[in-house]
């Protein structure tokens, strides 16, 4: 996969893209990152990329020309690539694990990271394919938000994680939150690991994990559960868990 990032602050990405899983993914050849200062595509001598909004108002607006030219240059002659041009903005679609999985199937992702008050609307209407928000709040620019998406997508690429089952078992990948994890020692200051995890009975362990995942989701994110779609056994388990708490 190719990941291009268009930003006015390329130095922000140096540490992130060259650390941890993101660096390992690039070293393995699973992904290629390119960070471009789209100010380089400005046609005016002062390399100005923003202007005052028509109709008045506070703040500055990014002009369309530098971003259109930058994206067109990055596309090159690869017309048959599966490509998405992603605008990071608080008005966009809320980021989910399902969205990350969808993006991980593409060949080429181009992220537009803006600053200032906003974008010229023609960028939204005629250049981008996706608008993504990482939450209902406003950041200084799109750089940090794009890092979140890039991290989430990269770890889903084949052979990036040491164990591919890890991504499949993550919270939200199955529609539920992940079950609890434990490691050595089995008894730490009187706090003990559940007996079932020490039993060696893989069928019982798997059932325990599924139930714990369901219980944790019901307690913390009930909005993720469609009760009518649960099996009779799962519904009975949740009901008994609630009664035990009462």
Catalytic center residues: 90, 117, 155, 170
| Residues 111, 22: Cα–Cα separation, whole Å | 16
Retrieve residue 171's tokens. Answer: 């919270």
In this structure, what is the dihedral angle of CA atoms 48, 52, 58, 60, given to the nearest 10 degrees? -20
Residue 14: closest CA among 2, 29, 26: 26
Residue 171: closest CA among 216, 207, 228: 216
| Residues 60, 66: Cα–Cα separation, whole Å | 15
According to DSSP, the residues that pair with 132 across neighbouring strands are 93
Retrieve residue 100's tokens. Answer: 């990350």
């Amino acid at each position: 996969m190719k990941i291009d990032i268009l930003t006015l602050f390329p130095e922000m990405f140096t540490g992130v893209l060259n650390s941890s899983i993101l660096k390992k993914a690039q070293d393995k050849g699973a992904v290629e990152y390119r960070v471009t200062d789209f100010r380089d595509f400005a046609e005016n001598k002062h390399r100005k990329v923003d202007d005052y909004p028509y109709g008045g108002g506070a703040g500055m607006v990014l002009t369309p020309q530098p971003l259109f030219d930058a994206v067109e240059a990055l596309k090159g002659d690869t017309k048959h690539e599966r490509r998405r041009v992603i605008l990071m903005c608080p008005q966009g679609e809320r980021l989910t694990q399902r969205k990350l999985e969808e993006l991980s199937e593409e060949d080429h992702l181009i992220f537009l990271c803006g600053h200032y008050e906003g974008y010229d609307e023609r960028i939204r209407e005629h250049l981008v394919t996706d608008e993504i928000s990482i939450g209902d709040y406003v950041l200084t620019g799109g750089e940090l938000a794009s890092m979140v998406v890039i991290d989430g997508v990269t770890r889903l690429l084949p052979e990036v994680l040491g164990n591919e089952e890890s991504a499949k078992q993550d919270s939200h990948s199955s529609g539920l939150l992940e079950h609890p994890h434990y490691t050595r020692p089995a008894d730490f200051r009187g706090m003990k690991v559940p007996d079932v995890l020490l039993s060696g009975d893989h069928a019982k362990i798997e059932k325990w994990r599924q139930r714990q995942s369901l219980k944790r989701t019901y307690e913390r994110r009930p909005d993720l559960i469609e009760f009518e779609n649960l099996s009779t056994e799962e519904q009975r388990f949740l009901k008994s868990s609630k009664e035990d708490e009462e």
